[in-house]
Each structure stands twice: as structure tokens, then as C-alpha cells.
Amino acid sequence: MAVTDIHKKVIDAMTVMNVAIKNIRLYPSTSAIIRNTVERVHLIFQDIFKSEDSLILSEVGSNFVICGQVFTENEQRQNPQAFMFFETLLVLGLKGVSFERQIGLSELKTFLQIVSKTQLELDAAGGIQKVAEKEKLPNVLLDHKVYVVMEGDQQIVSGLRPEEMELLKRIIRTGQLSGEEKNHLRDTARNPGRLREMMDGGVSYAMSRRGAEPDEIIARDLTVLTRLLDGASDGLPEKTDSSRAMSESLLKAEDRLLAHALGRIHRNEISPELISEFIDFMPAERRAILRDELQRIRHLSPDLVPADSIGALILEEKNGDGEETKTASSAPTKEDRAACLKTGLTRLLSGDEKWLSDPVFLEMLPEYLRHLNQTGKSDKTVSFIRRMADALTLSHPEPRHRAVRTLLSVSAMLEAQKAQSLFADAAPSIMNWMRAETDPPPEYERIATVMADTVWSLNSENRIVQALPVLQVFHELAYGTQESGHTPTGAHRMSQGAAENALSRIGSDSMLSMLMERYQQGNETEKELVIEAFGGIGDTAVSWLIDILQKSRDMSERVRVLRIISDIRHPATGLLARKIREGGPWFYLRNLILALGKIGSPADLHALIPLMNHEDIRVQREALNSIYLIGGEKRGDLLLSAMPHADERLKISMIDMLGALKHRPAVAVLTEMLASKSLFSSRLSEKLQNNVCAALGRIGDPAAVPVLRAVAEQKRLLSLHAYSDNVKETAAAAIDAISSAETRPAAAPAAKPRLQPLSLSPVKSPATVEKDNVPTAAELLDSIRRHIKLGNTNAVMSARERLRTVHTEARAELQAADEMISRVQRTPDREDAVPKDHMGLWPDLYEALSPEEANALYYAMEEQSFSDDETICRQGERSSRLYFVLKGSLKLIFHQGEQENLIRTLSQGDVVGEDTFFSVSVCTTSLIALSAVETTYLDKEVLDRWKTQFPALEAKLHDYCLGLERVQDVLRKKGMDRRLQGRFPITGEVKAQLMRPAGGGSGRFFKGYMENISAGGLSFGISSPNRKNISLLLGRQLELSLMLPMPIAKKIIPSTTIPFTVQQFQLRQLGGVIGVSHRGDNRYMVHVQFVQDLSRLTGNADAEGPPE
């Protein structure tokens, strides 16, 4: 086998070894895919060992060396998987490895299993050398080394010192020796091993110049080298050994070059010993190859193989049948060759398959096509290649295989880049053959490599449309057997292995980066093509994308990757599941789970279920959502089994899911939870109870009615375990729902309402407009804004049309309305919808959001600017906005009487207003611009819309705001206190009556539980599922009645008003609600300021007794 063939085989072996390492890391050790890849490596090794005793890989300086030849940078780019194998060795601390001829399949698999381990795993076992010794790998030698010398920018591998290499190059160029040089060579020739190194260095030097110089020049240099080194050993006792060493080295030259050199070496120019050793040492297979090459050369020009040359001597040898091969006298004339070429080309273009039966034409064709291409006739070259590919459809295998060999010869003859471009038009025929071939020839893998390089070229030229059909065939061949579940045959294994290697070759980092760049810059059609390309490349591409997902700190990039993975689907699901099992940071796992929830199936649940016990609640929540999305019929049982150990915050979601699924087996568990006393100890108890009742109503099982009725009709209002009025109402509604379900026929489930895209198409207006109670333009604009927030498309367009027809002069308002509608009409589901600079201001916030939630947050924001010294919100007034500062500076202050107190200054990236946005309260501080300020803000109304579309978004935003520095924390650091009066904790019940605005009680009472009290006011807790009703309390006056313990009373009420004989007394006071803060779920804290300060009370307090 020629040196270049060995070099290519080793590169192929490294490529497959890298694939094998990946498979070992991803699949169980008994997996068929691991067995297949290891077997392919071993088969390549066996092919190499037919002509080599060992396979040596090594790093020398900054060079990688393969069996004595440098693995060039160009080869590294073209064979990224082979390069990655070298990198794997280096990461593990190996400078080289040598595989000996006797290596077996199990020993090879053991070696690959060792190098697939991480450095930490190997270090824990004592290092890779110790692990290898323990595993007993007699035919794997670690850290094998060779030497490298340089020729310009070319690298030549040998065992020579640099000065010896320089001598070698000089005598090759000049063909002459000085007296000193002759003596040096003669001394070298006394050691056959050193002479072999000298000859090896010369052959490597010649081979390194291929492509840069014509083959004829390189063949001449080999001739000079052989003649001079052979002459140096004349008359020495070691002549026979030296001749054998030179023969071994000379046979390492590539077949075509060696044949040209043998045609130039005359028999009288070298010693009989070298001729004899060369002929005798040459393997029969190699002799046949060289004979074919020499015949081809002689057909082209008899003068290139004269009768007295070594080449002619080989041709004159008897063949296997005892007959002499044809000599120069039987070679065709120039006219014969021209006629043969003309006839063959005519047959080829006409589709006559006889061209495949003419060996002379087949030998001449590659050279002729190279000549055509070099003279600028590439269109003709393409036509001939396409016709050659058409022959792959012939019914008999032998003509098909001849056509394949001819295509490979043409590819080898052309420059790599030109070959890839010229083969693109023939790709459909070639790939159809690869898909259908039932008897693949040995060249099958080589033609797969050619087509892989063609895909690489097409993609790099942005011709993805042409590359996709080729990728599709490779993908079918690589994954088809796995997907079908059939056991692959020998032919299938060969085609599958070739396709996997081709996909690995295509899926280099540079190609995948190029595709990602095209995705980022392209339109939607181009994005779809890139996604198809990623999917066609398969595992290599998905692994690369998942690595980005883990390492990238750019949210926009992660969003793009998530979309691509979701659109690829197969084979992404398997890799996602494996990566989830491997673990990682919470945000990385969350993204993997999110993607699997979009494209997975019940078969992938095994990767999600363990994450319900993950330490991070965000991972648990995403796992729960994905289980619900892909769990199919298993969802209900999985939710039930996970509920006992789940975080209480997740239990609420689980209960809702069970209700939505109408999972009847959950009824027993839910009713038990509802009746359980332990449930009441949770701070989420009322929310859980409420959701359990609602879920039971949705399930509709009559078995739940007795428990629900017991809740709805419970009389023990003051009991420790009493249900709230809200829970009772929900239980009663659930009973009604179950009763209705029993009496009405089953109906098809209603379609889930969806917000339709807003359209600016006019809505037909009424013929007349009522004159009375006509809203103003400002009111209509406010209505449009409100309905946009709620997603009421029809109401938006109706209000806009009314604004246009009724207020014809209100151009500014109409323009503002159209701008708001246009903003909503943007495409919020694109992965790049949120600008990177915007996300960069609040990275921690957007990190916690899914892509859809991030878009929803961003597109709910409105822009607002403020001038210097303008007040954004004022202490004591209402505000329903959460501000995000884009530019400028502001000050946050509070007033005590006439005194202004600075809390802190705010600037770009700050968020402010959370105290009134998430609670029902007036502002306790003022926010004033210190310069021109630009902000975006959220209005509180958006929270209602999010409850349906993005139920977790409010909680995530609130969690983010809770992590901000609170006003009270800043004041505490500064030693400041906004409270002028002491506040004291207190327990017990308070009774409140709403007062009419005009004065007098409304007769509407409600109860709460006391939190604290001061001379100026108090705080008490209430429960309600209706946030809007709670917001109505703000600013209302209440009549409060409670029992005040004596120790507290003495601290806040003048002693002259308190009877000394009582332990507590009933306090009745009027107060105004100045704030309502949300404490989670349906719980709220009401803050009241007394109309009359308790420190100014006069008269006697009421006698001891409970409040009415």
C-alpha cells in the first residue's frame, strides 16, 4: 500500500476512533453502535497492517505526526474528527500512541474506553499510564515519539537531525556530492538502520511537495536519491542489508510517483543488490498496482518507461498465469490512443455502457478531464462526471463498481476544491446509488468521503439547498437502522459506517459555526434550511449546540440554540435526555428540560422524573411542566406519585394539572388532602384547599361530593381548622360542577381561546353614533391601551374605529393608538425579539425566564421619558407601574413633615416601584428625576393577562424584585426610620366594617387577624382570591373593632383613659386604608392609619369583652 494510502487510512481510523469515543460516552457499553464503530476501527487497522507493522501517532513540537508523515493543517481542517482524536490524547497527557499489528478487537475497545474517560476519572485511578498497565494492553504503546524537520512551510518527518536533512535536500537538488558528503553518506551506509532513516527522510521530503510541483519533478528527485544512496553503500559488507533497507523505504512512496520514478531509473544506474531486494521485497499486491500504473504511463507515452528501466523490468515479469505482460512493442500508438479516447467519450455522452469495458479509456479519462478543467472547460468536465455517475444505476454490480473507481480516480486527479464543486451536479445520482447499493465495493467509503467534502464545499458557498439532499441520504444511512430497530447486515454496517464518518467529517466546528452564523443573519426561509442542515448532520451537530447551551452567557444565543434544537427534533431528544442525566448548572438544565418538553415523548420521561427532587425549585418547576407536556397517558399517575414529596409550591401546580386532566384516580388523594389537618399548618394552606376543591370540580367524580359538602357547609367558624369563606365558596361551586356534569351529555372540549394577531383592517362602524355619553378621545385611547393589555383584539379595534369616526380631529390620539397597536403586532415569538442591549441591563431577570416569557415581558413594556426635576411618583399617592431605568439618574426620597430624606439614587439598570406594583398600596416614597430620564414600565393590569398565558412570569418577576435592595434595608444601614411611633406585635381577631363615602356604615363586615399596632394605625391580615376586590380597599375608610391587651394599651394610649381594673378592653376606631401588601397566594396585609391618633384619646375605654 502506498504511503499516501496508509496516511489516508490512518486519518480514517482516527476519525472513527473519535466517533467511537463519543459513542462510549453517550451509550451503554453493550450498545450495538459502540460495537459497530470499534469493529470499523479494527477493520481499518487490519487493512493498514497488511503493509505496516505498527501504526504510530505522535506530537512533535507543534506538529502532529501520522506514521512518519505530518498531519498538515489543511488535513486537520478537512478531517476535524481526526484532529479531535489527537486533541483527546493531548488533554489526557499523551504525546503519542503506537498500535502494533497483533492488536485485537477487545484490546482496541479497552483502549478506547480508557481514553473516553475524563482526566479527573483517570487521575483518581492513578493516571492513564497506570490504568493502561492495569488493563494489560500489550499492543498499545503510549507516548511514542518521532522527529520533525521543516522545509519552508512544509513539514517532513524523519529520524534525521536538521543538519542531515539539509544535506539530503541539497544532494537531491544538485544530484552531486562533495568529497566530505560522500564520506558522510558512506559512514551512514555502514548502518542499514541509519541509511533507512536517510531514505525515509528523502521520501517524506518528496511526498511533502506533492501538489506544489509536478509529479515528474518529484519522481526525478526520487531517482536521484535512490542512485546516490545506493552508490554510497557499494563494496560494503552491509550492502545486502542496506539494499533491503532502501527498498523498504522506497516502497513507502505513493504508487503514481513510485511508478514514474521506476520508469526513470535505468538498470545500470543502481546495483544488482538493490534491484534484487526491491523486486523480491515487493508484495504481490503492490507489484500488481505498480504494474497497472506503469502500463497506464506507457500507454500515455512509451518514452516514459524505456526498455532498460526498472519499470520495464517489472512489466516484463510473468503474471500469475505464467504469461508475460505486454511490453512496449504492444503499446498503442498516439493515433490509437486518440481514437480510443474519442470513441470512449462518445459512448460516455450517449449513455452507452461499453465505455466501462475499455481499460485504456478508463485509464486515460481522469487525465483528460484534468486537462479539460485546467484549460477552463469545467462545463464539459461536469457533463462527463454527470454521465459517469449515471452509470451507477446499472443493474450489474461490476460495471457500477468500475464507474465508482473511475469517479474516484477523477476526484484524485483534480484539485480538492475543484473536485468538490464539479461533483455537486452529479450528487443526486451518486447519493441514489449510495442509498440503493446492496453490494458496496471497497471504494464505498472513499466515495462517501468525496461526497462529504462536496457537502462541505456547498455549505461554505451558501448552496445549502443543493447540500441538503446529500445530507438527507447520509442521515438515512447513518440512523435508519437505529430508528427501524432492525439488525443491520454486513452491507448495512458498511454503508452506515461510511455515512457516520461522512457526517462527522461534515460536522466540523468551523462548518457548524458557519451554519449558525447563516442562521443568525438569514431570513426565515434561510433559517429553515440551516435547521434542516443541522438535523441532517445529526448527533455531532446536536452535541455542538448543547455545548453552546451550557457555555454561552449570551441569552440571545441560547434562545437561538433552543429554537434550533426544538426544530431538529430527532435525534435531539436522545441527546437531550442523556445530557439532562449528566447534570449541570440549574440554568443549563432548565433549558435542556424546556427543549425536551417541546419535542420529547413519553419515552423521555425517565430523564425528567428524577429532577422533581432537584435542589433548585426552578429546575423542579420546569421538569413538572415538561412532564405534563410530553407525559401522555402517564401524566396523571406520575403527578400522583410525585406529589407526597413535592415542594408545596409545586403541589399547587400539580393539583391544577390533575384537575385539567380530569384524572379520576386523584380523587381519593385530593379528598384526603382536603380533610387532612396537617394541611392547615402550611402557609399555603388556603391556596392548596382552594385549588383542591377546584380540581375536584373539574374532575367531576361524584365520590368527591361528601367531602366537598362537608367543607362547604362547615359551621365551626371559630375552629382552629375552619375553612375560609373563599374555600367554602369554591367547594360549593365544585359540587355544582359535578352535579351539572352528571345531568348533561358529554360535549366535545372547547377550543382554548387564543389571542389573535391585531389587524389594522377597518371594522364596520355603526350607522349612527349616540350623542349622549360619548367618550372623549383621551378616554378611547385609554380604553385601547387597557384592552391591548388584556388581549381583547375586537375591543381594541372597535375602540380605534370609534376614535377615528367620532373624533375626526384627534389626529394625535389616533396616531398614538396606531403606534400601540403596531407595537403589539410585532412578532414576539422570534428568538431575537428582545434586544441584546436590553437584556444586558437585567441579565439575572432574563436568565430566569423562558424565551416566551422574556418576549412577553419585553412586549408588555411601554416607554416613558421624564425631564429634569420631574416627579415620577409621589409619596402618599397611588402608582400601578414598575419602572425599568434605561438612561439618566433619579432620586428616591421620603418626607417627614417638611424634611426631605434621601434614600438612594437610581440609574441605568435599576428597577423601582415594586412595592406598589405587587401590592395594593400608596407610594411610601417619592421618585424624582435628577436629569433627563428614559424608562420602560409595566402596568399592573398586565399581571391579569399573564395569569392565563404565562402563569409563572409574575412569580419570577416578583422573585427578582425581592432580590433587590429594599428601602427599609437602606434606611436601616443609614440609621434612619420613617416611623415616628413605636409599633407593637399583637394577635387576635379584628372586625372591620366598610364606611360609606358620604358617611355611616355600609353594613358590610369582614374579619381579619391582627399583625401589629401603633398609636397611629394598625396592620391586619385577610384572605381573598380576588386581587381586584382587595385593590378597592385602598383609600376606603373602615370602622375597626378589636380587643387591646393592657400591656400594649399602656404604651400607646394615655393612662387617664384606661381603667386600671381591666386586663383588656374593646377598642373602636375609624381609619383609612393606606396600603394592602400581598403576602403570597391569596393572603394580604391591610395597613390602616387611624383618623384620630390613640395618643390623643380622651375619656374612658370600654369595659372588657369581646368585639361584636
What string of DSSP letters covers 222-254?
A: HHHHHHHHHHHTTT-TTHHHHHHHHHHHHTTS-
Q: Average per-residue pLDDT in the chain?
A: 78
Is 90 exceeded by the pLDDT of residue 96?
no
Rounded-to-integer distance, Cα 383 and Cα 379, Å = 6
Q: Which residues face 55 on adjacent strands?
A: 99
Q: Are residues 337 and 486 in the same domain?
A: yes
What does R_g of the chain's alpha carbons equal in angstroms?
42
Q: Are residues 852 and 948 in the same domain?
A: yes
Q: Are residues 153 and 95 in the same domain?
A: no
Q: How many CB atoms are closer than 10 A to CB 865?
A: 13
DSSP 104-118: -HHHHHHHHHHHTS-
930, 891 Cβ separation under 8 angstroms = yes
pLDDT attached to residue 557: 75
Q: Are residues 547 and 677 in the same domain?
A: no
Burial class (CB in 10 A: 0-12, 13-18, 19+), 770: exposed
Phi, psi of 619 (to 5 degrees): -70, -45
Strands 69-70 and 147-151: unpaired
Q: Which residues face 37 on adjacent strands?
A: none
Residues 527-551: what's their mean pLDDT? 86
Q: How many CB atoms are closer than 10 A to CB 214?
A: 12
Stronger pLDDT, 661 or 684, i.e. the higher one: 661
Domain boundary at 927, 950, 974, which? Answer: 974
Q: Is residue 643 part of a domain?
A: no
Q: Are residues 285 and 153 in the same domain?
A: yes
The three grid cell numbers given for residue 466, joined into one nine-digit string: 443543493
Q: How many CB atoms are closer than 10 A to CB 805?
A: 12
Rounded-to-integer distance, Cα 936 and Cα 720, Å = 47
Per mean pLDDT, which range of 54-68, 194-208, 768-782, 983-997 is the poorest?
A: 768-782
Q: Are residues 190 and 321 in the same domain?
A: yes
Q: How many domains does the chain have?
A: 8
Q: Is residue 559 part of a domain?
A: yes
Is 50 exceeded by the pLDDT of residue 677?
yes
pLDDT attached to residue 112: 92
Q: Is residue 283 part of a domain?
A: yes
1021, 1085 Cβ separation under 8 angstroms = yes
**pTM, whole model, 2 decimals?**
0.48
Kindly give the residue spans of alpha helices, DSSP state H, lying in 156-191.
162-174, 179-189
The three grid cell numbers given for residue 191, joined into one nine-digit string: 548502518
Is 70 exceeded by the pLDDT of residue 481?
no
pLDDT attached to residue 763: 36
- Position of cell 358590610? 1004
In tens, the pLDDT along 301-314 reads: 677 788 888 888 88
Domain boundary at 950, 974, 998, which? Answer: 974
1100, 1063 Cβ separation under 8 angstroms = no
Q: Are residues 795 and 847 in the same domain?
A: no
Cβ neighbors of 855 (< 8 A, separation 6 or more) are 828, 829, 830, 833, 834
Cβ neighbors of 805 (< 8 A, separation 6 or more) are 765, 769
Q: Are residues 175 and 123 in the same domain?
A: no
In tens, the pLDDT along 803-818 reads: 877 777 777 778 778 7
pLDDT attached to residue 361: 75
Most confident of 93-102, 716-725, 757-766: 93-102
Kindly give the residue spans of alpha helices, DSSP state H, lying in 682-771.
685-699, 705-712, 725-743
Burial class (CB in 10 A: 0-12, 13-18, 19+), 27: middle
622, 594 Cβ separation under 8 angstroms = yes
Task: Look up residue 604 and give its DSSP letter.
Answer: G
572, 549 Cβ separation under 8 angstroms = no
Q: How many CB atoms are closer than 10 A to CB 451?
A: 28
Residues 574-587: what's their mean pLDDT? 85
Q: Are residues 470 and 563 in the same domain?
A: no
DSSP 1066-1088: EEEEEEEEEEEEE-STTEEEEEE
Most confident of 13-22, 324-333, 793-802: 13-22
Q: Are residues 104 and 157 in the same domain?
A: no
Is 60 exceeded by the pLDDT of residue 490?
no
Is 70 exceeded by the pLDDT of residue 368?
yes
- 798-806 long-range contacts (CB < 8 A, ≥24 apart) are 798/763, 800/763, 801/762, 801/763, 801/765, 802/765, 802/769, 802/775, 803/777, 805/765, 805/769, 806/769, 806/774, 806/780
Domain that holds residue 365: 333-506
Q: Is residue 85 part of a domain?
A: yes
Cβ neighbors of 596 (< 8 A, separation 6 or more) are 573, 576, 577, 580, 604, 607, 608, 626, 630
Q: Is residue 942 part of a domain?
A: yes
Q: What angle do CA 18, 23, 27 make, to 5 degrees?
A: 165
pLDDT attached to residue 1061: 58
Question: What amino acid occupies position 392?
Answer: L
Strands 63-66 and 54-60: antiparallel
Banded model confidence at residue 891, pLDDT cuts 50, 70, 90:
very high
Q: Is residue 645 part of a domain?
A: no
Q: Are residues 500 and 518 in the same domain?
A: no
pLDDT attached to residue 823: 58
Stronger pLDDT, 173 or 320, i.e. the higher one: 173
Q: What is the CATH number of the domain that holds 400?
A: 1.25.40
661, 638 Cβ separation under 8 angstroms = no
- Position of cell 386523584? 666
Q: Are residues 326 and 337 in the same domain?
A: no
pLDDT attached to residue 15: 87
pLDDT attached to residue 54: 77
In tens, the pLDDT along 162-181 reads: 567 677 777 777 777 788 88
Per mean pLDDT, which range of 154-158, 397-401, 707-711 is the poorest?
A: 154-158
Domain boundary at 300, 331, 362, which? Answer: 331
Rounded-to-integer distance, Cα 878 and Cα 893, Å = 16
Q: What is the CATH number of the domain that holds 916?
A: 2.60.120.10
Spatial CA neighbour of 1008 closest among 994, 1028, 995: 994
Q: Which residues face 1070 on adjacent strands?
A: 1039
Q: Is residue 153 part of a domain?
A: yes
Q: Is residue 749 part of a domain?
A: no
Helix and strand tally (H, E) in the chain?
51, 23
CA distances from 249 to 252, 262, 619, 888 (A): 5, 14, 62, 77
CA distances from 609 to 116, 548, 613, 739, 886 (A): 28, 25, 8, 36, 41
Banded model confidence at residue 149, pLDDT cuts 50, 70, 90:
very low
In tens, the pLDDT along 401-428 reads: 888 887 877 777 665 555 666 777 788 8
Rounded-to-integer distance, Cα 1084 and Cα 686, Å = 12
934, 865 Cβ separation under 8 angstroms = yes
- Position of cell 432580590? 963
